[in-house]
């Protein structure tokens, strides 16, 4: 596998970082994310692009994205794993950066990723901080500062060397939930560790709106245990939705 430090970043024909954002009905979230990414781009001395992969929005998300100059807009089936794979195939970058629509990475994200990959990191991301003053959610944020697979997740964003991503055959489209955990597990089996970057992403706490902290944590715990036991992802997804009252 080619080491990232061996890549010549002076090659202007290749985009260095491709940001891939899967979304469905995120018109209220996308504008803020795009502002953060554009500001990050202003600080970055490499090349970058933004690819939005929509899974069938009906709230104006597509129109908002199409109106953004320089943003590539793709459409596919409403499956986050499939959406991210479609984005990866269309990406020009040697580094793929997967970001959820309701997440705000640090403005230094492109620079942070470049520093990490020049240090031979193959994949990684941030801890997170929820956009809520609820005390127990601060505990959730604290847990993500530990670099173990159980505290990872898509909300923390994920950068990965394209060669590694393709070697892992991308996200498993059989996974209807917890697709990032599955990818990290397969990477770990290949001896590739997760690099925890300094800083935090800001994550929407909307999952907790109208629900108790305990109810959501219990649902999260059952999903994690079920995944570790090899329960079918469709079963995990339906059970998770039912536990949250969706």
CB distance 107 to 36 below 8 Å:
yes
Those residues whose C-beta lies under 8 Å from the C-beta of residue 78, and which sit 6 or more positions away, are 24, 55, 56
How far is 80 from 205, CA to CA, in rounded Å?
Answer: 19
What pLDDT shows up at residue 3? 42
| HSE value, Cβ hemisphere, 13 Å, CA-based, for 89 | 13
How far is 228 from 211, CA to CA, in rounded Å?
Answer: 25
Nearest to 211 by CA among 244, 246, 166: 244
Coil/strand/helix, residue 75: strand
How far is 3 from 125, CA to CA, in rounded Å?
Answer: 18
What pLDDT shows up at residue 156? 87
Structure tokens at 218: 């219990």
Backbone angles phi, psi at 48, to 5 degrees: -155, 160
Task: Per-residue pLDDT tens, the chain, 246 aa: give them.
Answer: 434 434 444 343 345 999 999 999 999 999 999 999 999 999 998 899 999 999 999 999 999 888 887 899 999 989 999 999 999 999 999 999 999 999 999 999 999 999 999 888 999 999 999 998 888 999 989 999 999 888 887 788 999 999 999 999 999 999 999 999 999 999 999 999 999 999 999 999 888 888 999 999 999 999 999 999 999 999 999 999 999 987
* Per-domain residue ranges of the chain: 4-207, 210-246
How far is 135 from 139, CA to CA, in rounded Å?
Answer: 7
In this structure, the chain runs to a length of: 246
Coil/strand/helix, residue 76: coil
Q: Which CATH class is domain 4-207?
A: alpha beta
């Amino acid at each position: 596998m080619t080491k990232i430090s061996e890549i010549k970043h002076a090659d202007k024909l290749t985009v260095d970082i491709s940001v891939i954002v899967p979304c469905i009905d995120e018109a209220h979230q996308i504008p803020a994310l795009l502002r953060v990414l554009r500001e990050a781009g202003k600080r970055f001395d490499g090349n970058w692009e933004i690819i939005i992969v929509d899974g069938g929005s009906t709230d104006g998300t597509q129109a908002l994205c199409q109106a953004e100059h320089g943003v590539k807009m793709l459409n596919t089936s409403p499956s986050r794993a499939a959406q991210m794979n479609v984005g990866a195939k269309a990406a020009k970058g040697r580094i793929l950066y997967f970001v959820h629509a309701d997440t705000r990475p640090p403005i230094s994200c492109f620079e942070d990723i470049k520093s990490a990959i020049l240090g031979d990191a193959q994949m990684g991301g941030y801890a997170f901080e929820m956009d809520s003053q609820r005390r127990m959610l601060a505990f959730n944020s604290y847990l993500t500062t530990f670099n173990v697979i159980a505290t990872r997740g898509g909300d923390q964003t994920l950068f990965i060397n394209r060669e590694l991503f393709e070697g892992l055959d991308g996200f498993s489209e059989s996974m209807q939930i917890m697709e990032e955990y599955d990818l990290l597990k397969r990477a770990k089996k290949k001896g590739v560790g997760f690099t925890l970057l300094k800083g935090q992403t800001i994550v929407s706490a909307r999952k907790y709106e109208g629900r108790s902290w305990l109810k959501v944590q219990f649902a999260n715990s059952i999903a994690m245990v079920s995944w570790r036991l090899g329960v079918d992802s469709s079963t995990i997804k339906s059970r998770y939705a039912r536990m949250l009252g969706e």
